[in-house]
Structure 1
């Protein structure tokens, strides 16, 4: 008889409207100079009920998940009080103090990257688990095999060239030497920078595996083994109260380690769509979500910055989630 290993889910969540959270944030911002760095942008902490859709999507489209751990900072999501008994039994609230045990001096933190560095320290967490941001939902049925096959993780994404290795940067550096000019090197987004940093730590100096906004399959043992051998890297990454481009993204790091160890399968048959309410027009939002409805291989949706969307776009995004996840039959 085949023994099926359990698979858990882990979600990070914060209520930016909570008064206690706001006081902690204000104090932390004072330390860094009384301004909001990008890593402290208000949209990182505000929420529009995204967790509700995330949880409901797991209950409906991935009922095989054993436990759902929600990492919070001394907060209780309102949805917890409304869940049916059977679903509530799956939910475990995890305070930052638990996963930062022994490293409490780095709390409070407002840095998702720091939190992700220690999320594997949740007590009782299955060795195989799926990590999601609360703005990510599943919109069609998925199976365990969509995330894990045997002892391997199923990765989605694509290989890209490290920014520093792009030919234009070689050209700019050569131009600097020949003409004694200040180089105009290519730059990239912070999110990409963190992924590139992670790849380098795993030994990938020319390329990196770029991850989409989707649920990430992870193995607790991979985290534990790496940080047992490199404890200084853990401490350094959790020391930043806010996201910083000098950090690495632990999710990307672990995926690169799986690739390095030949314990990953690349499979892009299931797709993810990301929608950004802050910078997409309503027409673009509608176009992307219409595509998600029509293409049956699109099973993941990431609704970013709903709180910053114009009211008409925000309502359209929330209505779509209601229809697709909660009211759909």
Structure 2
């Protein structure tokens, strides 16, 4: 395990909140998960960073030293990514995103609506980090997402506006036995090997596991990978995975609804209350919904699912 920027953010969040419980809520992690992560960080750095206090935790002497370095490093990293840019001849609109199907349509509209501006995009694996960047005015807009019971925490200076909520579908190789079904069940999926992304601050993995546990089932995870590697393993028939209902259809890939729709994902827009896009926020939300509706036709399964619901 190597020290990463996200580990420094974890240490700072614990110090700022003075409590593992409060820090876990801010980071959208479970407290046991945060505790385990802190122990791994401490092992890697070679010493305890926090000690128990009367109402939470406080940094040790070694922890204070690490915090001084972390607080010096993190702003520099953010400046490197968002602040140190060549002098712009035009206004810049910085858009952040997770894996959002509506992004391309929204950016296309923003480009047309703001010909005087330079629209740029960055991606992050977890929505929490994007909301933090909106709060710090390092992004003008972000396309984020969350799941039932694991909603993004409210921040006074950030508006979180829902755009669309969609079911989570299963995906598998075309030759998989479940691919012949019009829909699959959680029980059938639980009997398969799983290919899933590693746990992250977005807590989507925790949400999936919670839903399966509530049904008396468990996900038999065999491969923890993400991005193109995850898709390659699914296409190779090495297991099943989950995807947004708006996921793009690829040759050899089959996307199927899950019976009774037990899993959901919500798309939201985030902007600063005092940001430059506030005045046109209502129109941006409508354009985002239009872009989402266009993206809902990227595979055959979702339009069919929507048609059944409308009939």
TM-score w.r.t. the length of structure 1 is: 0.26
Which has the larger share of strand? 2
